[in-house]
Chain A
Amino acid sequence: MYWISVITESAIFAILALGLDMVWGWCGDFDLAFYGYLALGSYMTMVLTIGKPTPPTEYILGLTLPYPLAIVVADVLVVALAAIIGAVALRNLREIYFAVTTLGAVSALYLIVEIYTPLFDGYNGLFGLINPGQSALNLTYNGYRQVFMVIVLVILALTYLVVQRLSKSPFGRMLRAVREDERAAAAYGRGIFFAKYRAYLFGAALAGLAGGLFAAYISAFNPSAWTPQELLVIYAAILVGGRGNPRGVIVGVFVVYIGFIELTRYLPSPASRPEFAPALRQVLIGLLIILMLRFRPAGIFAERSGGGRASRAEGPDPAVPDPAQPAGLGADS
């Protein structure tokens, strides 16, 4: 049961990470709003499925849509929010300015959700999405958790196939060119904003999908479930696995989530200090980021985008003559 839970959670975050990597890895934009997309996906999936609120709880909609349909509707709203944030943040802002703008956007969203209770019941949050479809599928509680894990893994596999195809395609290659040198990409006919915007919306859609799955996984969602620090773990995972490489991103998420949960489980934790393990986890993640940047900045799997094999060589092959040198050109006809 323990492993089913760990694998399901890792797989959900791997879907989020694949989306975030399209924005950070492929386009080079350090986005801090992404956990907000997962959160909105979760909240919306909840209010679309759990029915009318019973006072004193209050939230919008309160529908009882079928769970899969609710995920789709929720994701449409997530993409709509990303369309607004992206339209502002991606147009002219880059690097730290982009990061700060997205952080501002997600902070505003966080405060609205927390303070304006008629939306998602404020700090209490939503609950009640318990094993959607369990009775229809005629499963036991444990059986359902197993089936849910398999479904999440299948969705992750499908997501991976699509993202990998995009990564190796001319589309993915063009985004890397935009990341490397925007002016040169514009000089070769690429609309910079539109290119980044498309990747951003697609990435946000994956985050919203992950949010919909996450809602059913934890069956309750409130502001303490999506503090901005959570996103740093995802960034660490991408860094470990290999920024820009979808396979690496998935491996990175599983390594970081399972690795850290396991590590902190076996470490001695004083009973009088329950906050010790989570705090140590934060410290270890910081340490991991530093060590990866120092010793293997490309991650476990280096980026490989479309069109020909990417070189493994760190520098030019000394065996290849340099045609720009006079000696190499002398023989040129």
Chain B
Amino acid sequence: MNGEILRIENLSKSFGGVTAVRGCTFSVTQGTVLGLIGPNGAGKSTVVDLVSGFGRPDAGRITFAGTQITGRRPDAIARLGLIRTFQTPREWPRLTVLQNVLVARCAYSREALLRTIVRGRSIRRDELADQIKVMEILDRYQLADLRDIKAGDLSGGQKRLLEFARIAAADPSLVILDEPMGGVNPVLGTRIGEAVRQFADDGHTVIVVEHNLPFIERICDEVVVMDTGEVIAQGPFDSLRDNPRVVDAYLGMDQSHD
């Protein structure tokens, strides 16, 4: 339960002459919620991209659940049980809500071409057996009544909930949420906070990239603070309050304008 599920060592990445991430090292304990915070341009999103395979690191190692995943393709990493979200919800707009969740279920063996032609019935049976679980997930995120609506027609908030329904369907061992609170009203924010905690309580590990510090304080077991591409602190939220480097990273910019 308390093993290390993700370890990042000396990760570096430059774009042209700009170093986005520099010697970044931290690890995540299984079953916990880790907040990844830092000012804009700190390199948080780049770290998320590198870990999930959407970018190749220039240097460093990433180990997920005991497997070296450095530089692997995003789909290969996802298949190992690491699912990430994007800053804006990326639903499949012309698929229905139910279809979105069914795709996110990641039942890859049901997508075999020849098996579909020769044994289509058995695939249908498998999917029907799965239907109870999928409907339960839709219910949990108040999407059951909307299941036949095209996902592109949902409101912004509903799309956030669909993102959570998709993750729940995928049932990953590690989920990385990239700014789940962007454009979210306070009531839905509470709901999202509960959803994140629920994931951790169900045994998943969660990394949350977020600017909303009260939200981070409420839901995270531990926090990693980044600034200008480097990890400047790691620990429980309370321990970071008085850390001068953290205070400087967050407030330093304002002082520099004086």
Chain A residues at the B interface, C-beta cutoff of 8 Å? 162, 165-166, 169-171, 173-174, 176-177, 180-181, 183-192, 195, 198, 202, 303, 305-311, 313-317, 320, 322-326, 328-330, 332
Contact = CB atoms under 8 A, between A and B. Distances in A.
Contact of A332 (B143, B149, B191): B191
Contact of B157 (A187, A189, A322): A322
A308 B149 contact: no
Contacts of B160: 324
B161 A323 contact: yes
Given A181-B92, A329-B191, 14 more contacts: A169-B123, A170-B102, A170-B116, A170-B127, A171-B110, A174-B111, A183-B74, A308-B98, A308-B102, A317-B146, A322-B157, A323-B142, A323-B161, A329-B188
A188 B166 contact: yes
Contacts of B143: 323
A170 B107 contact: yes
Nearest to B117: A162
25 contacts: A165-B116, A165-B117, A169-B116, A174-B111, A180-B95, A181-B92, A184-B92, A185-B92, A187-B90, A188-B166, A190-B75, A191-B73, A191-B75, A195-B111, A198-B113, A307-B127, A310-B150, A311-B150, A316-B153, A323-B141, A323-B161, A326-B186, A326-B187, A329-B187, A329-B191
Interface stretch (B3-11, B39-47, B76-84, B227-235): B76-84
- Measured as residues with beta carbon below 8 angstroms from the partner, the interface class of chain B is 35 or more
Contacts of B94: 176, 180, 303
A323 B147 CA distance: 13
B111 A324 contact: no
B145 interface: yes
Contacts of A328: 142
Nearest to A198: B113
B54 interface: yes
B219 interface: no
Interface of B: 52, 54, 73-76, 78-79, 83-86, 90-96, 98-100, 102-104, 106-108, 110-113, 116-117, 120, 123, 127, 141-143, 145-150, 153-158, 160-161, 166, 170, 185-188, 191
Contact of B145 (A166, A188, A320): A320
A170 B109 CA distance: 9
- Name the 4 nearest CB pairs between A and B, nearest first: A324-B157, A323-B142, A189-B78, A180-B92
Contacts of A165: 116-117, 120
A320 B157 CA distance: 14
Contacts of A330: 187
A188 B83 contact: yes
Nearest to B104: A188
A254 to B, nearest CB: 25
A322 B83 contact: no
A185 B83 CA distance: 11
Contact of A316 (B76, B104, B155): B155
B60 to A, nearest CB: 21
B169 to A, nearest CB: 9
Contacts of A195: 111
Nearest to B160: A324
B116 A166 contact: yes
A174 B155 CA distance: 23
Nearest to B187: A326
Contacts of A191: 73, 75-76
Contacts of A189: 75, 78-79, 106, 108, 170
Residue of A180, A181, A330 with most chain B CB atoms under a 10 A cut-off: A180
A46 B186 CA distance: 70
A316 B85 CA distance: 24
Given A171-B113, A191-B75, A305-B99, A177 B92 contact: yes
Residue of A202, A316, A323 with most chain B CB atoms under a 10 A cut-off: A323
A317 B127 contact: no
Contact of B96 (A170, A192, A311, A314): A311
A190 B153 CA distance: 24
B148 A180 contact: no
A302 B127 CA distance: 24
